[in-house]
Structure 1
Amino acid sequence: MKTRSEELQVFVTVIDCGSISAAAEQLAQTPSAVSRTLSRLESRLGTTLLNRTTRRMDLTEEGRFFLDRSRAILAQMAAMEEHLELHRQTPAGRLRINAAAPFMSHAIVPWIGEFRRAYPDIELELNTDDLIIDLLEQRTDIAIRIGELSDSSLHARSLGCSPLLVLASPQYLARRGVPERVEALNDHCLLGFSQPESLNHWPLRHADGDRWPIRPQLLASSGETLRQLALAGEGIVCLSHFMTHQDIRDGRLQVLLAEANSGHRQPIHAVYYRNTQLALRIQCFLDFIQQKLAVYAC
């Protein structure tokens, strides 16, 4: 006869509580009922799990093995039940999302109408900040972060990645010419970030490596500002595909030195604090936006 999940729960609870009487109180059963369940479980398994005396209980070697497996099984069952419960519920309530302004404008806002039609009971609050924020301080449910993560205290979910591309407008290239080699960039007006400096190391292969450090002639703190400068024909820029794919498709920006691109991709993560009350709203949005972001992975 097969072991039942109720017996596993009783066994684990007895170990966690340290005694049959304490476990019985937590399980709302009598001590004799808990003791009978343990005996029935040992009989089913044909082995002793606990050496019990009037003063103490000790796990046998078989008991330690069975305890680890029992915890894993119960955790899996709880996860399945939670998953099914989430699908039975209707997601509702306010969901606060934070992202850098370029990502919000180019990768989230275009899909908001579709999301709202799919989940009309979720109230969205969209906030932008180019600096890393404290989720609790800013009362944020989900923050979208571009680049490598450093805060291990947060739950993170990968949403994909976006390539970095070297770009210029047709007007600029008509005026200054198309660079045919990485080294030729030194003869052009380069647009770069005032911070962080790491964004001014472009993903281009050359004799000394696969990152080309630039000396920008024009600096800006915002990727969107650099995009607008590039569109205006002010120089060559290196930006993520998520914010330039429409410009490339429509011919407003042209990809340069594609054969030399080392293929570096910026990881995109959603970070959040685990909160069961918000889990459904978070899960719905993350499932939705992860599917939509696949278009930017080129």
Structure 2
Amino acid sequence: MSSILDLEVFVRTADSGSISAAARSLELTPAAASIALKRLETRLGMRLLARSTRSMRLTEEGRRYLDSVRVALAALAEGEQALKQQSQGLSGVLQLAAPSDFGRNLLLPWLDDFKREHPHIRLQLLLNDRHSDLFRETVDVALRFGVPSDSSLVALPILPRHHRLACASPEYLARHGTPQTPAELSEHSALVYLRNGRPYNSWHFSRDGEVQEVQVRGDYLSDDGEVARRWALAGHGIAYKAWLDVASDIRAGRLVPLLGDWQGESVPLNLLCPHRLQVSERVKVLQGFLQARCQLLAG
């Protein structure tokens, strides 16, 4: 097992590109830092850093190993922090990414309550509909709808049984009529979501084992889920939204759910984490908190 010091020397050398700089940051001599690196490489049986008289760079093995070392050191630091501040309750930074629509309309007020319950937590919130690369970006966890495309991610369930639905404003339906079957959606103006620059215009519905796929079209397209919701509220067309995103609008009568006996595609809500070691106590408490809020809304 490598020592923590050896791992810290490796990370700081990789970040700074200099053994001398890494040594200064750890209050070591350059010779001691160099020995720590050699000791780590000897134990692993491979070169982590390619060195020359003028430069230093990560090898391919070093680049892959660096991600794992960062995770391990972060987990150790968090464990120490938790022990030191146990009497104060949860503390530290919680970095969270979330979809724009869900984030603005539900998550923001929920996080206000979460912060009141855990005042020593520092929140960093990233709102967008782009799926963050959890292995590269400074995000601990991400709230995402749907089944994770990357099987290496750890998925912590928030609302497993959750679906999309077609909906529109009463004003739109008064002007254009109410579709009774999925096929009739092709005759209406759809509010199309852009996913990675491509229109998500294939909507799926199921009923009693029957599945229908409908190709829709419309004059309003956006890569922001909140924009699609606002267009629906303004009466510009029919949206295909996650139920959580429009639950409040439906209950207030601002939007009307369509095709009552047809169910939209399944989009379970999960907290995604890049590694099991990063499922910290903060993340576990946040998971339980969000489960309770979503179930309350669903009930």
Same fold (TM over 0.5): yes
State whether residues 192 and 237 of structure 1, in contact with CA within 8 Å, keep that contact through their aligned partners in structure 2: yes
User: Identity across aligned pairs (percent)?
Assistant: 31
In the aligned structure 2, how far is the partner of 1:277 from the partner of 1:212?
38
1:244 Cα offset (Å):
0.3
In the aligned structure 1, how far is the partner of 2:205 from the partner of 2:279?
42
Question: C-alpha deviations, 1:150-188, integer Å up to 9, x for none?
Answer: 223222211114321111101111111122233332332
Q: Which moved more, 1:99-108 or 1:112-121?
A: 99-108
In the aligned structure 1, how far is the partner of 2:181 from the partner of 2:278?
54
Name the counterpart of 1:174.
Answer: 174
Change (3 A) 1:275 1:208: closer
1:113 Cα offset (Å):
1.7
Question: C-alpha deviations, 1:71-94, integer Å up to 9, x for none?
Answer: xxxxxxxxxxx9xx9896621011
1:143 Cα offset (Å):
1.0
Give the alignment partner of residue 231 of structure 2, picking from 195, 205, 229: 229
Change (3 A) 1:207 1:144: closer
Name the counterpart of 1:241.
Answer: 243
Change (3 A) 1:215 1:123: same
Counterparts in 2 of 1:1-298, with a 5 A limit?
90-161=89-160, 162-195=162-195, 199-205=200-206, 209-218=210-219, 219-259=221-261, 261-262=262-263, 264-274=265-275, 279-297=280-298
**Counterpart amino acid of 2:143?**
I
State whether residues 190 and 214 of structure 1, in contact with CA within 8 Å, keep that contact through their aligned partners in structure 2: no
1:273 Cα offset (Å):
3.6
Gap regions ≥5 residues in structure 1: 1-81
Q: Which one has the bigger strand percentage?
A: 2
Gap regions ≥5 residues in structure 2: 1-78
* TM-score for the superposition, normalised by structure 2: 0.64
**Counterpart amino acid of 2:239?**
V
In the aligned structure 1, how far is the partner of 2:206 from the partner of 2:133?
37
Question: C-alpha deviations, 1:34-75, integer Å up to 9, x for none?
Answer: xxxxxxxxxxxxxxxxxxxxxxxxxxxxxxxxxxxxxxxxxx
- What SS does structure 2 have at the residue aligned with 1:126? strand
Number of aligned pairs?
214
In the aligned structure 1, how far is the partner of 2:127 from the partner of 2:156?
19
In the aligned structure 1, how far is the partner of 2:260 from the partner of 2:199?
20
In the aligned structure 2, how far is the partner of 1:195 from the partner of 1:281?
31
1:106 Cα offset (Å):
2.7
State whether residues 192 and 216 of structure 1, in contact with CA within 8 Å, keep that contact through their aligned partners in structure 2: yes
State whether residues 201 and 211 of structure 1, in contact with CA within 8 Å, keep that contact through their aligned partners in structure 2: no
State whether residues 182 and 212 of structure 2, in contact with CA within 8 Å, keep that contact through their aligned partners in structure 1: no
* TM-score for the superposition, normalised by structure 1: 0.64
Greater C-alpha radius of gyration: 1
User: Please, what is the CA RMSD of the aligned residues?
Assistant: 2.9
State whether residues 203 and 216 of structure 2, in contact with CA within 8 Å, keep that contact through their aligned partners in structure 1: no
- What SS does structure 1 have at the residue aligned with 2:240? strand
